Amino acid sequence: MQENKTQLSVSTAVLEKMAQIAALEVEGVTGLSKKAIDIKGTFRTKSAFKGVKAESINGAIEITVYICVDKNAKVREVAEAVQSNVKDKIQTMTGTAVTKVNVSIADIYFEDESEASGE
C-alpha cells in the first residue's frame, strides 16, 4: 500500500507575518522595531524591515523578533511569553519544528506626557 504524502512549503515572508501577529498578541508588547538592526541585510533586501526575521535551516525554522515593550512590563516575562507564543503558533500552523526563537528588546514605550494629561 502506497501512502500519498504532500509537502508543505511556506515562504519566509509568511513565516515572518505569522511571527509578527503572534508577538503582538502578547501583553506588554507595544509593537515591533521598525529600524533595521543589521545594516548589511538592509542593502541586500528590497523590502523594509518589519521587526521579524525568519530563516529555514535544514527543514527547521529559526525566528528573531525585535519587540518594543511597555515601560511597566516585566521584560523577562514578556520575552518568554513571546518566545512561547511565536513557537506554538508557527508549529501549529505549519507543522514544522521551530528550533529557536530569539527575542531582542529594541525599545521601551513611554506614553507622551501630553497624552497622559489629556491635552
pLDDT at residue number 86: 97
pTM: 0.77
pLDDT at residue number 9: 76
For the stretch 13-52, pLDDT in tens is 999 999 999 999 999 999 998 765 555 554 555 455 679 9
pLDDT over 90, % of the chain:
59
pLDDT at residue number 1: 57
**For the chain, how many helices (H) and strands (E)?**
4, 4
Q: How far is CA 101 from the centre of its chain?
A: 8
Give the residue ranges of DSSP H helices in the chain.
12-24, 39-44, 75-94, 113-117
Q: Are 44 and 38 in contact (CB under 8 A)?
A: no
The half-sphere exposure of 90 on its side-chain side, counting CA atoms within 13 A, is: 35
Q: Are 77 and 116 in contact (CB under 8 A)?
A: no
Round to whole Å and give the CA distance between 4 and 101. Answer: 32
pLDDT at residue number 100: 96
pLDDT at residue number 11: 87
Pairing mode, strands 52-57 and 29-32: unpaired
CA distances from 92 to 7, 81, 101, 115 (A): 16, 16, 15, 39
Which domains, and CATH codes, for the chain?
12-37+47-111 (3.30.70.1350)
Higher pLDDT, 119 or 32: 32
Q: Tell me the pLDDT band of 57, cut-offs 50, 70 and 90.
A: confident
- Nearest-CA neighbor of 109 among 65, 78, 69? 69
- What's the average model confidence in pLDDT over 62-66? 96
